[in-house]
Amino acid sequence: MPTPMPVRRAALQATAAAAWLALAGCASLHDEPPAAPVATPVEVVPELEIVPAPAAPPPRAAPRPAPRPRVPAQRDVVVLFQEGIAGYSEIAARIAEQLPTARYRTAFVAIHAPDSPDLLAPLVALRPAAVVAVGREAAEFARDHLVGTPLVFCQVFNYQEFLGDGKPVWGVSPMPPVALQLRGWTSVDPSRRRIGLIVSDEHSTLIDDVRAAAGSAVEIKHEVSSSDRETLYLFKRLASQVDGFWLVPDNRILSPNVLHELLSYAAGHGVGVLVFNDALLSWGALMSATSTPADVARGVNAVLDRIAAGTTKELPPLTPLTEIKLQVNGDVASRLGVGGAPEASWVIREPD
């Protein structure tokens, strides 16, 4: 039977309403707020204190190289020596040998013709920083021709005229120490009690030096002479009063002829004579006391170093020696009854 129209309409409306409600239900589900998420625990890391790194030090400057030691310039030194005099050339050679080559240039000049142009011209042109003179003739040459140049002389007994007046001139003693000479003499002849000594007036102070060195053990009998002939006369007068005689190298009161006669007289009268040159042993002397080339050279070079350093204010006019060479004439020693004398020469030094 056919469904009545009002019923069909009502059914369609119900179906539509159900469909709408279904759609509405879906819509209402999407509009609900989402469930809150479950919180995950977070590990709390404590804050670290950030310390700034230390500032880098400023770059260090490269060290400066150490300054090189100042090398003094070489100084020209002329060594003049008297040609033909025994020992002078050896002393000149020792002086040059001891001078440091890094500081000194040495030129040797043998004095044979002092006024010749071939000798003077090169020396004047060289303009040396200092001159060394070995022997009197060399010292006179330097004084006369190299005026104003510092001068160091040696082997000059009568030296007084070269010194003074503020001149740049210094010397090395021409004699070994008096005390060393007496010590060596006593070692050979300890019985000696009275010594004769003759000097010129210019060297009268030597008497006090000898007395001081001899002390009370030895008596010094002395005279002052003004010429070689007077020296011979005084010697003969003293010979009978002494058992030893001391000759000094003073050419003002000695000459070769007088020396020959004096030593011959001494040998004939039993007087032992101490002389200043080995060559005089063959003339009849008992003993010689001489300086050594090495010691003279040390004295000269010490003065040159003071000149180079500019420290001459306190430099003495004469630099003393420090050693002595002794030699005995064996034949004369035997005749005089002096026993135990060494056959060879020997050296003694201060402060030995």
Q: What are phi and psi of 8, to 5 degrees?
A: -65, -35
* pLDDT at position 244: 95
Element (H, E) at 125: helix 117-126
Distance of CA 95 to the CA centre of its chain: 14
Residue whose structure tokens are 């001494």? 266
Supply the pTM of this predicted model.
0.76
Tell me the sheet residues that pair with 107.
78
* pLDDT at position 74: 84
* pLDDT at position 343: 87
**Per-residue buried b or exposed e for 155-165, using 16+ beta carbons within 10 Å of the residue's own CB:** bbbebeebeee
* Alpha carbon distance, N-terminus to C-terminus of the chain: 173
- Measured CA to CA, the distance from residue 340 to residue 333 in angstroms comes to 9
- Nearest alpha carbon to residue 250 among 185, 326, 174, 304: 174
* pLDDT at position 154: 97
Q: Running DSSP on this structure, what letter comes out for residue 148?
A: T
* pLDDT at position 27: 38
Give the length of the chain.
352
* pLDDT at position 145: 87
Retrieve residue 116's tokens.
């010749």
- Measured CA to CA, the distance from residue 17 to residue 39 in angstroms comes to 43
Q: Are 154 and 296 in contact (CB under 8 A)?
A: yes
Element (H, E) at 346: strand 346-349
Distances (CA, A) of 162 to 139, 142, 156, 168: 8, 10, 10, 10
pLDDT string in tens for the chain (352-residue length): 444 444 444 443 444 444 333 334 443 334 445 555 555 554 544 554 555 666 666 767 667 766 665 545 789 999 999 888 878 999 999 999 999 999 999 988 888 755 555 667 677 777 899 999 999 999 999 998 888 899 999 999 999 999 988 889 999 999 999 999 999 999 999 989 999 999 999 999 999 999 999 999 899 999 999 999 999 999 999 999 999 999 999 999 999 999 999 999 999 999 999 999 999 999 999 999 999 999 999 999 999 999 999 999 999 999 999 999 999 999 999 999 998 788 899 999 987 6
Retrieve residue 204's tokens.
């009268």
